[in-house]
Chains A and B, each alone.
Chain A
Amino acid sequence: QAVVTQEPSLTVSPGGTVTLTCGSSTGAVTSGHYPYWFQQKPGQAPRTLIYDTSNKHSWTPARFSGSLLGGKAALTLSGAQPEDEADYYCLLNYSGARVFGGGTKLTVL
């Protein structure tokens, strides 16, 4: 089974910009992996921010955006807010089977 890699932790200043990435052990991440990004805060179920690389749900703040960058899926947060401090997970689709990344703990400090 493929391994999906994310930065274990990142720190961003309030109002700053940060990019989280999601790589695959099988090679470049493409739109065919239908990348998802989820946000999870302590004690809560995950919440989907981005689906199919760059699409947003109605509740996704405009400061979050998804893309493909250098062979990886990327989640960019522009103008970080204190409430964005959370764990972020990507999910890739491998012809039906899904694999989550290990998650990135984002600190806003």
Chain B
Amino acid sequence: EVQLVESGGGLVQPGGSLRLSCAASGFTLSNYRMHWVRQVPGKGLVWVSRLNIDGSSTTYADSVKGRFTISRDNALNTLYLQMNSLRAEDTAVYYCARGYPAYYDSWGQGTLVTVSS
């Protein structure tokens, strides 16, 4: 069974850092594009970042460019989102999702990040 489980969320002060993890099971992460998407509770979805299949290319939303880094560990079959210089507006539930060639067929349950002093 394909499963994605996010972890690493929590409360962090403005300017701080946090690393989110997305543990994949039931498939090999490196065979798929992977994405991070966030959502402020009660608000809409916002696409954050993408890692391509061979791991050589990354893309970011303008709002996180230069502050967030997407990566993966093939041995652990885990996707990461390193978030630096966090701002209050980064507060959201963060989801990982499996992209091409699975076309966003699987999503994690999300992990909540709260940026507040």
A-side interface residues toward B, CB under 8 Å?
1, 36, 38, 40, 45-48, 51-52, 55, 57, 87, 89, 91, 96-103
Contacts and interface: CB of A to CB of B under 8 A. Distances in A.
A57 B107 CA distance: 14
A89 B62 CA distance: 20
Contacts of A45: 95, 107-110
Nearest to B44: A103
10 contacts: A36-B104, A46-B104, A46-B107, A47-B107, A55-B103, A91-B45, A97-B61, A98-B35, A99-B47, A99-B61
Nearest to A55: B103
Nearest to B4: A45
Interface in B6-48: 35, 37, 44-47
B105 interface: yes
B12 to A, nearest CB: 23
A51 B104 contact: yes
Interface residues of chain A: helix, strand, loop or mixed (majority): strand
Given A1-B62, A55-B103, A96-B50, A46 B108 contact: no
Contacts of A91: 45, 47
Interface in B89-113: 95, 97, 103-105, 107-110
| Minimum-distance CB pairs A-B, first 4 | A51-B103, A45-B107, A98-B47, A96-B59
Contact of B44 (A47, A55, A100): A100
A101 B57 CA distance: 24
Given A45-B110, A100-B45, A52 B103 contact: yes
Nearest to B95: A45
A24 to B, nearest CB: 14
